[in-house]
Amino acid sequence: MKITTYIFGFLCSAALLLAACSKDGGYYEPKIIDKDFNGNAYDYLKSKPGVFDSLVQVIDRLGLQSTLQDSNITLFALTNQSFQLAITNLNNIRQLADRPSEFLSNIKKEHLDTMMTQYILRGKYVSDSLTLQDGKRLFGVKHGYPMQAKLIRSTSSGYPEGGPEVINFRDTKRSQFERDWISTTTSSINIQTSNAVVHVVSSDHVFGFEDFVSRLTFIPPPPNLFKTIGGTFSTSRENSGGPNAIEASKFAFDGNPETKFLLGSFSTAWLQFELNEAAAANSYTLTSANDFVERDPIDWNLQASNDGENWVTLDSRAGEIFEQRFQLRIFRFTNTVAYKFYRLNITRNRSGDAMQMADWSVNIETPETDAEEE
């Protein structure tokens, strides 16, 4: 009798085990939770006090309420902790510089606007629409900034890809190369409102990706003499496609970091600007281009002249590294002499046979322009 009972119990346990494995396919499938909200995306955020208060504050300050109420959007919703991390990081740096703290209520609106609208995307995208191998390119609702989202399944109980689904949400930095992208993940997905799909971003994400602190501690370059005085530019050698090519030398002078000057078969090259009237420069800027770090200039010198024939070297650099794409760097030197011609001689790139740069400018810095505007 005991043996019969034991065998019966064993068979029942085995049957239950097989049924369970058959049901879940050998991986974790979380119970489906009703994520339909009776209201718009703005109402949903307001219905979660203690979770999205900071996000609502930013949306209200930027006047984005109607976007979250009426537009078809996908919202990657940030919790209070994401904003707290960003503000804490910022004010730690400001404290070291003996500068007053800043808060969401007084930070410059243009910075908040461009960062916040990265998380509000055009169109409604549930997780199933993000299953392509390369993910899906999404665009900010206001400025069209390109973001990228991809559905992934986490590991659970020793089963690869056996855990809950999450979205890998990425700031593309306007680069086509994934190595330049900055990522975060979601803690909850597919919350449906009347006008939006809401995905909640993980609480350890810092608002603004890597840009929050750098934007709010960035001191803009001094006035660009190429723009304020005007003149004509030239180069020692043009892009192989000619002066009207999509990567011609003229794009090194346009002030747009998303365009660039590309030169193949590079050994050395110079860029030159003749001002309409002489001016005493004491700084200059270089901006890295969108891709391939090996093309970045690494050694160069800046020269000046009043006749275009006799040159004085104002500054020389060697081994300079651009750590990011679209990075604007300011180089300062001592000079009080007014010159009409300024020439940048690029003598070496990082590696390879091509050189590229997004922008070059020559600038004049005064005590007034050097002071930070509070």
Query: 368 pLDDT band (50/70/90 cuts)?
Result: low
Is 20 a domain residue? Answer: no
Domain boundary among 217, 252, 283: 217
351 and 255 in one domain?
A: yes
Query: Which of 31-35, 142-146, 152-156 comes out lowest in average pLDDT?
Result: 31-35
Residue 248 to residue 331: CA distance in whole angstroms: 24
Is 3 a domain residue? Answer: no
Q: Which residues of 147-176 are buried (b: 16+ CB within 10 A; e: fewer)?
A: bbbbbbeeeeeeeeebbebbbbbbbbbebe
Q: Look at residue 146 and give its three-state secondary structure.
A: strand
273 and 198 in one domain?
A: no
Residue 76 to residue 169: CA distance in whole angstroms: 8
User: What does the pLDDT read at residue 220?
Assistant: 78
179 and 146 in one domain?
A: yes
Secondary structure of the chain: what % helix, strand, coil (to 5)?
25, 30, 45
State the pTM of this model: 0.62
Is 16 a domain residue? Answer: no
User: What does the pLDDT read at residue 158?
Assistant: 54
65 and 185 in one domain?
A: yes
Average pLDDT, the chain: 87
287 and 209 in one domain?
A: no
Place of tokens 């109420």: 69
| CATH number of the domain to which 198 belongs | 2.30.180.10
Per-residue pLDDT averaged across 318-344, rounded? 94
Is 238 a domain residue? Answer: yes
189 and 265 in one domain?
A: no
Determine contact, residues 40/193, Cβ cutoff 8 Å: yes
Per-residue pLDDT averaged across 45-53, rounded? 96
169 and 77 in one domain?
A: yes
Is 35 a domain residue? Answer: no
Query: 180 pLDDT band (50/70/90 cuts)?
Result: confident
251 and 199 in one domain?
A: no
Return the amino acid letter for 183: S
Determine contact, residues 248/239, Cβ cutoff 8 Å: yes
Residue 83 to residue 52: CA distance in whole angstroms: 10
Which range marks the domain in which residue 95 is found? 41-217
More confident residue, 307 or 219: 307
Residue 42 to residue 314: CA distance in whole angstroms: 56
Tell me the two tokens of residue 201. Answer: 């971003």
User: What does the pLDDT read at residue 127?
Assistant: 94
User: What does the pLDDT read at residue 212?
Assistant: 87
317 and 171 in one domain?
A: no
CA 243, 246, 249 angle in degrees (round to 5)?
A: 45
Residue 216 to residue 86: CA distance in whole angstroms: 11
Distance, CA of 148 to chain centre: 11
Is 230 a domain residue? Answer: yes
Instruction: For residue 345, report the phi and psi dihedrals to the nearest 5 degrees.
Output: -100, 115
Determine contact, residues 292/263, Cβ cutoff 8 Å: no
| CATH number of the domain to which 270 belongs | 2.60.120.260
The count of domains in the chain is 2
Is the pLDDT confidence value at 328 over 60? Answer: yes
206 and 240 in one domain?
A: no
Q: Side-chain half-sphere of 195: how many Cα atoms within 13 Å?
A: 18
Domain boundary among 173, 192, 217: 217
Domain boundary among 194, 217, 240: 217
User: What does the pLDDT read at residue 214?
Assistant: 80
Is 31 a domain residue? Answer: no
More confident residue, 171 or 5: 171
255 and 191 in one domain?
A: no
Is the pLDDT confidence value at 155 over 70? Answer: no
Is 298 a domain residue? Answer: yes
259 and 174 in one domain?
A: no
